[in-house]
Structure 1
Amino acid sequence: MTLEWEQVIVDSQDPQTLGRWWAEALGWVIVDDEDGVEIRPSADRLPGILFGNDDSPKKAKNRLHFDFRPDDRDAEVERLLAHGARRADVGQTGDEPWVVLLDPEDNEFCVLSQRAS
């Protein structure tokens, strides 16, 4: 049996806006915006992220979230904050090697420090 990871689905109250925000934040391309918004690293590369419509408001911390590992964590955090992300307090102590941020619909994601060599 062969199983290929196609995409992650993110429920959104405004999939057009959130999908475009993430496409710009990640430098990815929009491959479909007919029924939600699907983004990928490039048109022919998987996995992607599909932002689908769900009118219900977010009620709690996400049970699944994205982790990103840039070359320079602090510079990337500043870039994402300038792009409209916000800092999140999910109970971190302050000495973690990651920063928790929120996208425009309050979905948590983490920006990690560089991997130890």
Structure 2
Amino acid sequence: MSLEWEQVVVHSLDPVALGQWWVEALGWVVVYTSDDEYEIRPAPDRGPSIDFVRINETKLAKSRLHLDFRPDDQAAEVARLVEHGAQRVDIGQGDQPWTVLADPEGNEFCILAARTE
């Protein structure tokens, strides 16, 4: 048996707006869009994708699954994303080498420290 990771689904009140926010944040491309769904990938033929799907409920608690990103320059990337509309959030992480941010709908994600050689 073999499994291949295809996508992460993010429930969203406005999948088009949130998906477009992530397209701009990541520099990815849109591969599918409708009123209720917005799918993005690193490149048209490269996965996995993030698929934003409409749900008519607001986020109520800390996300149980989140994405981690490893940049070349953590401080610069955090500053860029905050300027783009991300918010710094405290989910009880304490003093850690990563920064926790949230997208415009409150979905947490982490910007890790740069990888050391």
TM-score bracket relative to the smaller structure: over 0.9
Name the structure 1 match of 2:110.
110
Name the structure 1 match of 2:99.
99
Over 4 Å off, 4+ runs: none
Name the structure 2 match of 1:24.
24
| Alignment-mate amino acid for residue 111 of structure 1 | I
Name the structure 2 match of 1:52.
53
TM-score between both structures, scaled by the size of structure 1: 0.95
Name the structure 2 match of 1:38.
39
1:2 CA drift (Å) = 2.7
1:115 CA drift (Å) = 2.0
| Alignment-mate amino acid for residue 106 of structure 2 | D
Q: Deviations over 1:1-38 (max 9, x none)?
A: 23221100000000000000001100000000024000
- Give me the whole-angstrom Cα distance separating, in 1, the residues matched to 2:42 and 2:74: 20
Listed as ranges, the gaps of 5+ residues in structure 1 are none
Q: Deviations over 1:57-109 (max 9, x none)?
A: 11100000000000000000000001000100111223x11000010000000
Name the structure 2 match of 1:12.
12
TM-score between both structures, scaled by the size of structure 2: 0.95
Name the structure 1 match of 2:73.
72
- Give me the whole-angstrom Cα distance separating, in 1, the residues matched to 2:8 and 2:94: 29
Percent of counterpart pairs with the same letter?
59
The alignment of Structure 1 onto Structure 2 pairs a total of residues equal to: 116
Cα RMSD for the two superposed structures: 0.9
Listed as ranges, the gaps of 5+ residues in structure 2 are none
